Structure 1
């Protein structure tokens, strides 16, 4: 089953973040990952959206974890850490095929 990584980033150092941005794509592609969304012009519906929204798709959770833990990604990760405030999460994809009313019930299961 596909695994997704959802990220919201507030870039605090655009120039410094550029190097990370230029290198991260190859590390995502190596284990079969791909960008679903990479957007700097999100339309706010609720709350205060960050500067950049990203959704990545991997073949499965093992591939997502292999990417995040890979030496290639870990080598470039420091380029991002002090240049952006980041929230990353991987939703349980089994929720996505259920109606929103059932999400809360499934979350407690």
Structure 2
């Protein structure tokens, strides 16, 4: 019973947080592109940032997390943590596969080591 109460409290907290940001009214989950990497070549990475920096808004995206020196509390993640939010997973995939980002991405791939994932976010159940 204790786990059920804690789980319900956590779900309620997420629902309240989403409502505060306006996400509770969304009918489809937002898409997120999450990147975690270490920079190996600063000049190449600077070129990536120059090319990729202005692209996300063209696909309805916005950068919601960008930290060049994220602090690990578990495991061994890389130093850079970046999260871009899009209206949907499809929009995130359109961004990632666009000719513009594909051209910029080659600089990141060549200058960093790490991972990038695209995932959908949480949409609370309707009450």
* TM-score, with structure 1 as normaliser: 0.79
Structure 2 match to 1:58: 86
Highest RCO, 1 vs 2 (Cα 8 Å, sep ≥ 6):
1
Give the ranges of 4+ consecutive aligned residues of structure 1 lying more than 4 Å apart after TM superposition. none
Structure 2 Cα separation of the partners of residues 85 and 41 of structure 1: 14
Shift of residue 92, structure 1, vs aligned partner: 3.6
1:38 counterpart = 2:66: yes
1:81 counterpart = 2:109: yes
Shift of residue 51, structure 1, vs aligned partner: 2.0
- Report the more deviating stretch, 40-49 or 5-14: 40-49
Structure 2 Cα separation of the partners of residues 6 and 97 of structure 1: 21
Map of 1:1-109 to 2, 5 A cutoff?
Answer: 1-94=29-122, 97=124
**Which runs of 5 or more residues in structure 1 are unaligned?**
99-109
Structure 2 match to 1:104: none
Q: 1:92 to 1:62 in 2, by over 3 A?
A: closer
**Which runs of 5 or more residues in structure 2 are unaligned?**
1-28
SS at match of 1:46: coil
Shift of residue 15, structure 1, vs aligned partner: 1.6
Paired residues in the alignment total 97
Structure 2 Cα separation of the partners of residues 44 and 86 of structure 1: 14
Larger radius of gyration: 2
Shift of residue 48, structure 1, vs aligned partner: 2.1
* TM-score, with structure 2 as normaliser: 0.69
